[in-house]
Amino acid sequence: MINKYDIHPDFARFPVFTLRFRTLTLWFINFLTSMQCAFVRPRLRLAVTNHHLPRPDGSRLKVFSMKPKGIAKPAPALVYYHGGAFALTYAGLHLKNCERYAREAGCIVIFVDYRLAPRFPFPAGFDDCYHSLRWVVDNAGNLGIDPERIAVGGDSAGGALAAGVAQRARDEGLVKLCGQMLVYPVLDNTCSTPSATDFVDTPLWNAVSNRNMWNMYLHPYPIGTALPYAAPGLGALRGLPLSYVETAEFDPLRDEGLRYIEKLRQAGIAVQVNETKRTVHGYDASAGSDIARQSMLERINFLNEAFKPGSA
């Protein structure tokens, strides 16, 4: 497989596997990931506060705010949705990355622990994500947030959630976002692009896992149903905020990301593109890689640009 794709040595040893989304497997992965996060979170150099938002059914949505010490208020905010194929919980890497976004872009990060499929298929997790943005807008003053400098962001499936939330916020006039930051985002449930059909044996994420994910996440709906908020690459893009889109070369999601970039440009949206080479989906798990370090700087530079007063 290493000879088949020209993957950078930093990522070539990542494992190749196919995710079937079986309940026991997901439970085991999420258990181990949660244990790892339990060690990471206390070591974050931020003020972290839990918030529990009521849902219409009486249950509670957990979000937590991550604030750099001494940050001037009102501060910009990044509402962040973690990746994990809509079914996996957040990992320590998500927390560490958001720590850097908060500290180096001078913002408050609102991190959303949304409901996971397959127990909660679309739109449950998406509704949580939109509800969290509404809560931030409604409570910006109490949270010390500047309502004119709110961005959304996410990686992988979290990128789909962020992009879908941005479209719904535009459609409903909830808030004029100052930016959307999408890191190798999930965008298209048709799985019809060349990368989404050809990359069946790439490390960490492949075309078969990708199709399995969509079948799991959208299982209440007939196959082929167009759901733009779930698959925001199929939605209308006019009126969206300043955008950052990052892609990985040997990622089934690559071509839908590139197609989304082109559609943004056609819609007149300014977009910063980070088209990484010799990379795979989730490549920044190798945080010591020069490529991963450069991508982190690109993301932070984008946030600093989006958070400039009057940029929205």
pLDDT surpassing 90 at residue 277: yes
pLDDT surpassing 90 at residue 226: no
Is residue 14 in a domain?
A: no
pLDDT tens across 78-121, in order? Answer: 999 999 999 999 999 999 999 999 999 999 999 999 999 999 99
Strand ranges (DSSP E) for 30-74?
A: 47-54, 60-67
* Token pair for 46: 């931020």
Is residue 16 in a domain?
A: no
What value, to the nearest 5°, has the Cα angle with vertex 15 and ends 11 and 18?
130
pLDDT at position 1 is 45
Half-sphere exposure of 294 (CA within 13 A, CB side): 9
Task: Assign 3 a pLDDT band (cuts: 50, 70, 90).
Answer: low
CA dist 115 and 54 (Å) reads 13
* Token pair for 266: 């056609």
User: Between the CA of residue 211 and those of 18, 27, 311, 312, what are the distances in Å?
Assistant: 10, 20, 37, 36
Is residue 214 in a domain?
A: yes
Is residue 255 in a domain?
A: yes
Q: Which domain holds residue 53?
A: 23-306
Is residue 123 in a domain?
A: yes
Write the CB contacts of 120 (distance below 8 Å, at least 6 apart in sequence): none
The CATH number of whichever domain residue 202 belongs to comes to 3.40.50.1820
pLDDT at position 175 is 98
Mean pLDDT of 231-247: 98
Counting beta carbons within 10 angstroms of the beta carbon of residue 273, is it exposed (0 to 12), middle (13 to 18) or buried (19 or more)?
middle
pLDDT surpassing 70 at residue 239: yes
Is residue 13 in a domain?
A: no
pLDDT tens across 258-276, in order? Answer: 999 999 999 999 999 999 9
Task: Name the residue among 131, 141, 153, 158 with its Cα closest to residue 74.
Answer: 141
pLDDT at position 287 is 84
Q: Give the count of domains, the chain.
A: 1
Write the CB contacts of 310 (distance below 8 Å, at least 6 apart in sequence): none
Is residue 15 in a domain?
A: no
Is residue 191 in a domain?
A: yes
Which residues are known to be catalytic? Answer: 156, 251, 281
